Homo-oligomer: A and B are copies of this chain.
Amino acid sequence: MTEQRLRSPSLVQLAADAIRRMILAGELAEGERLIEERLTEQLGISRPPLREALRVLEQEGLIVTRPRRGSTVATLTDQDVFEILTLRTALERLAIELGVPVRFPDRLKDAQEALAEMERCADAEDRGNLVQAGYRFHASLIALAGHRRLEEAYASVQQQLLLCMARNLYAREHFYEDLHEHVGRHRTLLELVEAGDPAAVLAELAVHGERSFSDLQSNAGSRSARDL
């Protein structure tokens, strides 16, 4: 009974995961056309499952498909980054309101472990894994709400945020500036969550969000160049 999802990776899932990784890794440029036949050769699959995978990615907001014109990798403007950040904040707010005080202590453990991992990464200056651990941390905070749709929506937003970072559109300089301060803010957040005070957590989140927006402002100006 220990086997869970070992079976049936399904070419559609496999292809979606592979293309998603390529996009988030920056191997596919912004606005680049995704030629179906080329991807089938690259992935060693046929077009029907590939097309289904593209539909999934389209719904996830990572690619844009226009009828009879094929799919392209999503192009992000500052407006898009703004949308992603505000939506994230709104979803986190709901999660805190529903999840604090904590009703699922085991999920709190996930957050604690992720935070510990973040501290280790900050000490080792391992920025790549720090990002990963940071996302696990936020995801486990969201999980406190016990709200499946919220988790799914948040995962989608997180993914698009990863895309922003891959495009260097979001807070790169700030995030890489002081790793321990970054982790420290998350520790504060977790402590407030453990204390069971939703209002305090929301206030801290608001600060977090404000920082993100000011980072966005400092990035402004790179937009018009991309809008040809």
Which one, B67, B86, B93, contacts A147 given CB within 8 A? B86
Q: Establish whether residues A59 and B61, one from each chain, have CB atoms under 8 Å apart when the complex forms.
A: no
Closest residue of chain B to A61 (Cβ to Cβ) is B149
Q: Which residues of B contact A51 (CB under 8 A)?
A: 48, 52
- A83 contacts chain B at the CB level, 8 A cutoff: yes
A90 touching B83, Cβ below 8 Å: no
Docked pose: A146 CA to B60 CA in angstroms: 20
Taking the nearest CB of chain B, how far is it from the CB of A77, in angstroms?
11
**Cβ of A38 under 8 Å from chain B:** no
Q: Is A226 an interface residue (CB 8 A)?
A: no
Report the nearest B residue to A149, measured CB to CB: B83
A8 touches B67 (CB 8 A): yes
* A117, B121: Cα distance in complex, Å: 58
Alpha-carbon separation in the docked complex, A24 to B35 (Å)? 35
* Complex contact A10–B67 (CB within 8 A): yes
Cα–Cα distance between A11 and B48 once the two chains are bound (Å):
14
Indicate whether A12 reaches chain B with its CB closer than 8 angstroms.
Answer: yes
B12→A87 contact, CB < 8 A:
no
Cβ-based interface call for A153 (8 A) = yes
Bound: A59/B149 CA distance, A: 11
Of the candidates B8, B48, B68, B90, the one whose C-beta lies within 8 Å of that of A94 is B90
| Binary per-residue interface labels of chain A (140-175) against chain B in the complex, 1 for a CB within 8 Å, 0 otherwise | 000000011110010000000000000000000000
Per the bound structure, the CA–CA distance linking A89 and B86 in Å amounts to 15
Chain B residues with CB under 8 A of A122: none
Give the 5 A-B residue pairs with the shortest CB-CB distance, closest first. A59-B59, A90-B94, A8-B67, A55-B55, A83-B149
Q: List 18 other contacts, CB 8 Å, given A59-B60, A86-B94, A89-B94.
A: A7-B67, A8-B67, A48-B48, A48-B51, A51-B52, A52-B55, A55-B56, A55-B59, A56-B59, A86-B98, A86-B150, A87-B147, A87-B149, A87-B153, A90-B90, A90-B91, A90-B94, A153-B153
